[in-house]
Each structure stands twice: as structure tokens, then as C-alpha cells.
Amino acid sequence: MSKKDVSEKERLCISCQKCCKEIFVYTHPVLYSCSAETIVDFYKARGFDVSRLEEDAIILSFKHTCPHLTPQGCDVYENRPKACADYSGIEDFGDDCLWSTLKLKKS
């Protein structure tokens, strides 16, 4: 890939890499046979960051560096999963997603 083929989002993601180092998982008490409070306590005790959303949805987040991430960046970048190319970190990282600054500038 030549430099001019790199989109603005790709350029920002390459310099940010948050999505390659942290995982967010959405879950909901309806999937469990215990209360939301019990679920939150369960995951907090295991070192997850836990947030509650409206209607009892729960977000679990934990640090996990993708095994494909090297000091030079993604070692499968040309063939990275489509989810990696399409993923918007804005929903999970908010203003900490560099791409969000670009989107804000354009809106």
C-alpha cells in the first residue's frame, strides 16, 4: 500500500492503536440467572472495568493487546479482519478515539 492509499481514518488508527489494545464486551442481565449487581461484582472482582448503560446493559472492558500488534504496527494490516478496518472506536472510546476528532471537524 502506498502512502497516498492510506485513508485519514487508517492514518489516525495506525497512530492510535487503542482498538488493538483494549476489548469492550456488551452484555445484559437477561443472559444470566442473577442480578445485574451480582454480574457487575463478579466481573469487577476479576479485574474488568465495568460500566452500566440504560436498560441494564453492561459494558465489560479489559486490556488485551492483539497478538498481531508489533512495534511496527499490525503485522497482518493488508489482510486484517474486516472488523478491524470497519470498527469505530468512537462508540467505545468516545473523545479518546482520534477518529472522533476528525468526524467532529467534518460535522
Residues found near ligand SF4 in the complex (CB under 6 A): 12-13, 16-20, 66, 68-69, 74, 76, 80-81, 84, 88-89, 93, 97-99
Instruction: Choose between 36 and 59: whose C-beta lies nearer to ligand SF4.
Output: 59
User: What is the Cα–Cα distance from 91 to 97, expressed in whole angstroms?
Assistant: 9
For the CB of residue 59, give the shortest distance to ligand SF4 in the complex, in Å: 15
For the CB of residue 93, give the shortest distance to ligand SF4 in the complex, in Å: 4
**DSSP at 81:** -
Name the closest residue to ligand SF4 (Cβ). 89
Instruction: Choose between 30 and 83: whose C-beta lies nearer to ligand SF4.
Output: 83
Instruction: Choose between 48 and 89: whose C-beta lies nearer to ligand SF4.
Output: 89
For the CB of residue 50, give the shortest distance to ligand SF4 in the complex, in Å: 20
User: What is the Cα–Cα distance from 105 to 100, expressed in whole angstroms?
Assistant: 9
**Contact between residue 68 and residue 32 where contact means Cβ atoms under 8 Å apart:** no
Instruction: Choose between 37 and 75: whose C-beta lies nearer to ligand SF4.
Output: 75
E strands, the chain, are 22-27, 49-52, 58-63, 69-70, 73-74
